[in-house]
Amino acid sequence: MATSHRHDDHPEHPPHEHHQHGHPTHSDLAAALDLDAELVGDHLDDAATLIVEALGGPPARIVDLGAGTGSGTEALARRFPDATLLAVDSSPAMTETIDRRARAAGLTDRVTTVVADLDRGLPQMRRPDVIWAAMSLHHIADAGALLRSAATALGSEGVLVIVEMAGLPRFAPDDDAGLRALEDRCHAAAARAGWEALADWTTTIGDAGLEIARDCTIRVERADPAAQVSRYAVHWFSQFRHRLDEPAGMLSRADVELLDTLIDPAQASSLHRRTDLRLVAGRRVWIVRPIRADGGVE
């Protein structure tokens, strides 16, 4: 069973450099995104509640920026059954996936897609009540410019919702000190490497002419389905193995060898075989509004 907990007034993280690493295939990326949505998607219910509180009611039009496989688009469509949604992604393969997903879910009358490079700005759209940017803003070359465009595009009472990871996920159970210590070393190496996992948009939001209405962290904890938690752990420990070993060698050779063992399904100690892992993850959510020229909130 998954549990989620919302914590407001998140302290600001130190400045963080953003990098994109590697070029996974479309199928690899889609599988990872869907697995993430399955296991950590509970945060969306809390985020939807924040949206209703900010708007004073459910939204009528939602734009999903960097929609990926459309798991978030579909979840928002189900959460807000009277809303129309525009899913935006730079990948035609992803928008085709979203279209197929919408047809399978019977949502084609409410979900449309557009292929757009957000580094070139927002596509044309009807004025939305909500612009949703979940795990996508850190991929934009000039996030401030995109936020300024979003502030202009929103309706007078609209909100922009930004969702990012609130730290890297953890999997080690309390009684496995060795795996927990390895996680600590991998997380420290990821921070040194400049991973985007702790992206903090607080300053950028203010500079873009937006005001933060809510800033909170939603925590998700779950141990089941154990097979899916194990798959997700393998995905992350594989990321540590391949992204932190190249090119600078952020991890020791001993840790690289240990990671090789953990992600090898043929090994007796492989994470593939573990049924006791516990996922602890978090999402930081900003609910923001445009600021009027007179200094008030739109």
Is residue 85 classed as helix, strand or coil in its secondary structure? strand
Map residue 97 onto helix, strand or coil: helix
Contacts of 249 (CB under 8 A, 6+ apart): none
**Pairwise CA distance, residues 62 & 237, whole Å:** 34
Residues 67-83 have pLDDT tens digits of 999 999 999 999 999 99
Q: What is the DSSP string of 176-195?
A: -HHHHHHHHHHHHHHHHHT-
| 226-267 pLDDT, tens digit each | 999 999 999 999 999 998 986 667 899 999 999 999 999 999
**pLDDT of res. 42:** 82
Please report which helix (H) or strand (E) contains residue 286, including its range. strand 279-290
Residue 298 has pLDDT above 80, yes or no: no
For 2, 6, 9, 157, 239, the CA distances from 222, given in Å and listed in that order, are 4, 15, 24, 36, 21
- pLDDT at position 32, please? 80
Per-residue pLDDT, 171: 98
Report the alpha-carbon distance of residue 125 to residue 186 in Å, rounded.
42
- Would you place residue 36 in the very low, low, confident or very high pLDDT band (cuts 50, 70, 90)? confident
Q: What pLDDT, on a 0 to 100 scale, did the predictor assign at position 41?
A: 84
| Predicted model pTM | 0.84
CA distances from 76 to 11, 96, 180, 255, 279 (A): 27, 18, 35, 40, 23
196 band by pLDDT with thresholds 50, 70 and 90: low
